[in-house]
Chains A and B, each alone.
Chain A
Amino acid sequence: MAFTIVTQGTFTQGATPVGQKIPLPSGADYFVATNLTQLGAANNNVVIKGEWYGGGLTARNDGIRWRKITTTGTVQMDKFSNGTASGGFTYFNKFPEPEAPVVGTAITAANPAVVTMANTYSDGDVVQLYNTTGMLQIAGMAFTISGVSGAGFTLTGLDASGFAAPATAVTARRIGRLAPVEPRFQYVTKITQAAQATQATVTLSEISNYVVGQKIEFQIPGSFGMVQLNNFNQPQSKPVIITSIVSDYSFTINVDVSGFTPFAFPASTASPTAALFATIAPAGQSTQVNPITGVQTGYNFQYPPFHSGDFIPYMYLAAGDSSPAGGANSVIAWQAYKMETGTINSPVPS
């Protein structure tokens, strides 16, 4: 058993294909993904198979692609990096560090803010922004991006309409969608001051995985206004409880903030001396049981317990018809191989 399949499986893309993370507990020296859907279809310019070699032989986000170049099945082999709209394989044996910086030219002072930047990002990616000239109050924050095109993306979690001016420069670095440990701290971009108690809506810069019943604690510097929401100002210092989920980015809390100082970003001109940022951090959970129905609510057992964000190591497969994770509704079969002898006498880095 010198060369062994150590793991294998399949996945099926939905109508909107997304990149796939495949956990590889023992690592891999060779990885192959086959698009079973495109194998049998009469499509042109689609990838039907991708291969990855370990030990540093395959560059990040690359690999060998087997691509149909005619509808009759003529196949061409080259690299994913030869394609203009394709991604390949990326193997992670540790938590990913921020990727190489990408420079943009503007962020609109609008709701939501829109970034102008030539990029290859995907919807749902998380980017850390800095060098945000004219909008320094968000320099260093992480955002989930949406509406991605090759020319830019939207920061759905940021209402920048109250900012004094748009940013005239910005640099982004893509980071992991999950932190090494979840639930993680997240950046607060807005807190509404509703007239009714328990209706204050909190908006985050990233998609939130927080659930109803989860407890959180705010850390709001004086430069953001609403310091009354800081934990030590809460009755008996009790953590705040999430009472409902409004959207991917926002939720309501059990605190009446109508009498508090309004929440607002400091001016860009206050940087770098204004204290940043307003954040929340996980502080446990509160569960309730309805004695009549016997139903327990307020707790998603999968998310609130502290746990690792990603299983590491894993292989990331980029999505799309020109990429190994396939396009819409594609069925992908994958296999990870390990060279057993290579790990004894001639170690294969993996």
Chain B
Amino acid sequence: MSFSTGITGIQNMAPELPVQASEDLLSTPMFNLIHSFGVDLHHAESYVGKTTRMSRFERLSTDGGQLDGSGIDPASEVPVRTDIDATMEIYAKSIVTNEQVILYENSKTLTKFTALLGQWLREKEDLLMRDLFSSSVSYINATGGLNGDQPSNISLNDVNNIENILLGNDARSMLTSLEATLKFATGGVRDAFIALANTNLCADLQKVQGVLLKSAYPTQEGIRPEEYCSISRFRFFVSSKAARTPGISMKGNTVYTIPMYGLEAAAKIEQNNYTAVIGYRPPWVVSAVAQNSQLYAKFAIARAITNQNWISGLNVTTFQPS
């Protein structure tokens, strides 16, 4: 493609165009980090392998147990233990910088690149936790919506169905209640489980019967910016990177998965001394003529669903195909 500049020769030059940098950089886009919110944090020690085992004793049976006075002991029960294992994995990112960038083009380049690596570190961690939720949890298709697809768009019945599943499995809610206050157009919020949704679902969330948008909470104090609304016993947190799979609904539309969980449903395991490593390799190390330097970030993470009883969720489509 070409366009006219109006410059036809040395008799018709464009004016000089001086350029100066504004006082600071513009913001680097960052998505909402919601997938580590509400998961348990465990620590793995060094020098004992890369598999972390989390164990749980299952409940004892409440059948029988009565003593009849005959002196005969009741049968003893062997406790059952469930082991959940997770493998530690290490992720890393580096930036190589030429000295001319630092010399000519910007100030505090290394500082800014360090901030970029720090952002990468947290974003990558968030996506890894998202993948755990989308891969290793059973979801039920929403069917209460009216878009005629399978799964349908989200509805109150679908949300209540998941609450039934979690309560039936003795899951504990994650967030404490917000007591109602004497403010117009607000309402109390019950103690709640957590739900994680894609931002493409916001329009549908607003239409669910009984939805309480965040602005209608009795208080905004301590409310996370990622939170969008409350429906039934769930408080919804949204991210543009929350799980979605294009083109796999009954009609070929995008399917969104919404993990919905309570306490101790999932875990993130940090490796001791390897949670967030950021380092710098100076030019005389990286380059034969000391022209390139390197910044790097590393972190170790293991992830696991620690109790399938206490996590469930919905597959949904949007009311308007997306």
Residues of A within 8 A of B (CB): 95, 97-98, 101, 128, 130-132, 136, 139-140, 171, 173, 179-185, 215, 217, 219, 221, 231-232, 235-239, 271-277, 279-287, 301, 304-309, 343-345
Q: Does B65 contact A (CB under 8 A)?
A: no
Q: Does B232 contact A (CB under 8 A)?
A: no
Would you call A305 and B85 a contact (CB within 8 A)? yes
Would you call A306 and B85 a contact (CB within 8 A)? yes
6 A/B residue pairs, CB under 8 Å, sorted by A: A130-B250, A179-B131, A272-B152, A280-B138, A281-B138, A285-B84
Flag B186-219 by CB within 8 Å of A: 1 or 0 each: 0000000000000000000000000000000000
Would you call B308 and A281 a contact (CB within 8 A)? yes
A345 to chain B: which residues have CB within 8 Å?
Answer: 98
A180 to chain B: which residues have CB within 8 Å?
Answer: 131-132, 134-135
Would you call A140 and B98 a contact (CB within 8 A)? no
Would you call A221 and B140 a contact (CB within 8 A)? yes
Q: Does B150 contact A (CB under 8 A)?
A: yes
* Given known contacts A173-B247, A221-B140, A237 and B309 CB-to-CB distance under 8 angstroms: yes
Would you call A185 and B137 a contact (CB within 8 A)? yes
**Complex partner residue of B136 from A219, A276, A281, A301, CB under 8 angstroms:** A281
Would you call A344 and B150 a contact (CB within 8 A)? no
Would you call A101 and B252 a contact (CB within 8 A)? yes
Would you call B252 and A184 a contact (CB within 8 A)? no
Would you call B141 and A238 a contact (CB within 8 A)? no
- CA distance in complex: A182, B248 (Å): 21
**Complex partner residue of A237 from B58, B245, B247, CB under 8 angstroms:** B58
* Given known contacts A236-B59, A237-B59, A282-B305, A181 and B85 CB-to-CB distance under 8 angstroms: no
A287 to chain B: which residues have CB within 8 Å?
Answer: 83
**Complex partner residue of A272 from B85, B168, B250, CB under 8 angstroms:** B250
Would you call A98 and B170 a contact (CB within 8 A)? no
Nearest chain B CB to A209's CB is how many angstroms away? 12
Would you call B149 and A308 a contact (CB within 8 A)? no
Given A136-B150, A182-B135, A301-B51: 7 more A-B contacts, CB < 8 Å: A95-B131, A130-B248, A238-B82, A271-B150, A272-B152, A281-B138, A305-B304
Nearest chain B CB to A192's CB is how many angstroms away? 21
- CA distance in complex: A249, B132 (Å): 23
Q: Does B96 contact A (CB under 8 A)?
A: yes
* Given known contacts A179-B136, A272-B149, A306-B132, A236 and B58 CB-to-CB distance under 8 angstroms: yes
- CA distance in complex: A159, B302 (Å): 37
* Given known contacts A97-B245, A140-B141, A281-B308, A306 and B150 CB-to-CB distance under 8 angstroms: no
Residues of B within 8 A of A (CB): 51, 56, 58-61, 80-87, 89, 96-98, 131-132, 134-141, 143, 148-152, 161, 165, 168-170, 245-252, 255, 292, 302-305, 307-309, 312, 315
Would you call A139 and B135 a contact (CB within 8 A)? no
**Complex partner residue of B83 from A171, A231, A286, CB under 8 angstroms:** A286
Nearest chain B CB to A167's CB is how many angstroms away? 12
A183 to chain B: which residues have CB within 8 Å?
Answer: 136
A304 to chain B: which residues have CB within 8 Å?
Answer: 85
Nearest chain B CB to A15's CB is how many angstroms away? 32
B303 to chain A: which residues have CB within 8 Å?
Answer: 181, 306
Would you call A283 and B143 a contact (CB within 8 A)? no
* Given known contacts A344-B98, A344-B292, A217 and B138 CB-to-CB distance under 8 angstroms: yes
* Given known contacts A98-B245, A130-B249, A238 and B136 CB-to-CB distance under 8 angstroms: no
A343 to chain B: which residues have CB within 8 Å?
Answer: 96
Nearest chain A CB to B161's CB is how many angstroms away? 8
Residue of A nearest to B170 (CB): A237
Would you call A274 and B143 a contact (CB within 8 A)? yes
Residue of B nearest to A188 (CB): B138
- CA distance in complex: A97, B248 (Å): 11
Would you call A306 and B304 a contact (CB within 8 A)? yes
Would you call A231 and B308 a contact (CB within 8 A)? yes
Would you call A184 and B136 a contact (CB within 8 A)? yes
- CA distance in complex: A130, B136 (Å): 22
Residue of A nearest to B51 (CB): A305
- CA distance in complex: A280, B139 (Å): 10
**Complex partner residue of A276 from B60, B141, B302, B307, CB under 8 angstroms:** B141
* Given known contacts A181-B131, A272-B152, A307 and B82 CB-to-CB distance under 8 angstroms: no
Would you call B82 and A235 a contact (CB within 8 A)? no
Closest 7 CB pairs of A and B: A180-B131, A305-B85, A272-B150, A179-B135, A139-B250, A219-B138, A181-B135
Nearest chain A CB to B240's CB is how many angstroms away? 16
Residue of B nearest to A279 (CB): B138
* Given known contacts A238-B80, A284-B84, A98 and B246 CB-to-CB distance under 8 angstroms: yes
* Given known contacts A180-B134, A283-B308, A173 and B143 CB-to-CB distance under 8 angstroms: no
Would you call B143 and A275 a contact (CB within 8 A)? yes
Would you call A185 and B136 a contact (CB within 8 A)? yes
A181 to chain B: which residues have CB within 8 Å?
Answer: 131-132, 134-136, 303
A130 to chain B: which residues have CB within 8 Å?
Answer: 247-252
Nearest chain B CB to A50's CB is how many angstroms away? 30
